[in-house]
Amino acid sequence: MTSAKKRIGPRFGIWAVVYGTSASLNHPEDPPDASWTRNRNLVLEAESLGIDSVLVAQHIVNPFGDEFDQLETLTSCAALAERTEKIEIIAAIKPYLFHPAVFAKMALQIEEISQGRFSLNFVNAWYLPEFRKAGIPFPPHDERYVYGGEWLRVVRKLIAGERVTVDGDNFKLDGYRFKPTSKWRERPLIYAGGESEAALKLSVELCDTWFMFGQPLEDIARKISAMRKRPRKGAPLTYGVSAFPFARPSQPEAEEALAYAFELREKDKKVYDALHRNADPEVVTSKVISKVPGVGVGNGTGCGFTGSYDEVAQRIVNFYNAGIEIILLEFQPFEREMRRFAEEVMPRVARLCSLK
């Protein structure tokens, strides 16, 4: 299988602003804007800045509250696939929202539109109202993963062009197969997020890359080394993390920017409290990040990428050396800080990696 392009150093991705913001809802220069136009322009600029991937998270209702706009994932990915040329387009996908055959067909179509740049990020849901208010099933945590595992096994085979016959508890397929499949590789790549034992097992069994929310280097290194010990067929699993860098000319300026982000976060307290009340309490990822509460939809400040340009670049390299292959970036204001990161930090990371 052709995997992502080889290069020295980590790949960088961005979180599309599907909720309209990556951090505070109250930033004076960055009010929530989840519009297609904003997201399209953001991704086009990211591509021109040399960002490798965009993750389009999936929620059909904004978890900050249904008074906020929310970008739809798969239709946006299809449109991005047509508008862009190089950037990898990663769509998050929650099994209960689509029959696996319907989703696999859409995945193969976006793979064709993008000419081999579509990937999926398997996520097994945590936000209850999105499901319950629509009458979509939301069984207990481990049952969701049993369903999700059966779902992902079907999807993985179908997107590889296999003829699938399955007589499972949830899905029954009888000699089902899709054409066309990818002309560019064996199949679209499969990422997964989630830290429960069920998520780890599925990631090792069925995925190419395991994503984590932002957390300190020691935790990331320990988790990667434990994952590497698990038996697995095929190419080694690769690893990714979500990060919210505060890179500035000097360390005090970066600290000041981070403090401001936490101050703004306080203004969102009511909204976040409601979000937590509406989350499945069994979700392990939430328990992990509650130990190092941070800013960002992926708890990105947990990685500690706050400092001067040189310091942040070195810390990123430390994560890379621990096994992180892709870093999913969040910023606020997104466009301005993404530009700064691409201009100041990415070249430093490339330089440090080329010195090794």
Ligand X SMILES: Cc1cc2nc3c(=O)[nH]c(=O)nc-3n(C[C@H](O)[C@H](O)[C@H](O)COP(=O)(O)O)c2cc1C
Return residues touching ligand X (CB under 6 A).
Answer: 57-59, 92, 94, 121, 123-127, 193-196, 199, 211-213, 242, 283-285, 298, 328
Q: What is the CA radius of gyration of the chain?
A: 19
Is the CB of 12 or the CB of 213 nearer to ligand X? 213
Minimum distance between the CB of residue 148 and ligand X, rounded to whole angstroms?
Answer: 9
Minimum distance between the CB of residue 112 and ligand X, rounded to whole angstroms?
Answer: 23
Is the CB of 139 or the CB of 252 nearer to ligand X? 139
Is the CB of 24 or the CB of 209 nearer to ligand X? 209
Is the CB of 62 or the CB of 181 nearer to ligand X? 62
Is the CB of 92 or the CB of 352 nearer to ligand X? 92
CB 53 within 8 A of CB 87: yes
Minimum distance between the CB of residue 251 and ligand X, rounded to whole angstroms?
Answer: 27
Tokens at residue 113, please? 């539109």
Half-sphere exposure of 225 (CA within 13 A, CB side): 9
Amino acid at 69: D
Distance CA 268, CA 25 (A): 7
Beta strand pairing call for 172-176 and 164-167: antiparallel
Minimum distance between the CB of residue 280 and ligand X, rounded to whole angstroms?
Answer: 7
Q: Which residue is nearest to ligand X (CB)?
A: 193
Which parts of 84-209 fold into alpha helices (H)? 100-114, 128-132, 141-159, 197-206
Half-sphere exposure of 318 (CA within 13 A, CB side): 15
Minimum distance between the CB of residue 239 and ligand X, rounded to whole angstroms?
Answer: 11
- The DSSP code for 5 is P
Distance CA 341, CA 254 (A): 13
Can you name the residues that pair with 56 across neighbouring β-strands? 91
Beta strand pairing call for 209-212 and 238-243: parallel
Minimum distance between the CB of residue 124 and ligand X, rounded to whole angstroms?
Answer: 4
Minimum distance between the CB of residue 344 and ligand X, rounded to whole angstroms?
Answer: 24
Distance CA 120, CA 89 (A): 8
Is the CB of 56 or the CB of 261 nearer to ligand X? 56
Is the CB of 138 or the CB of 176 nearer to ligand X? 138
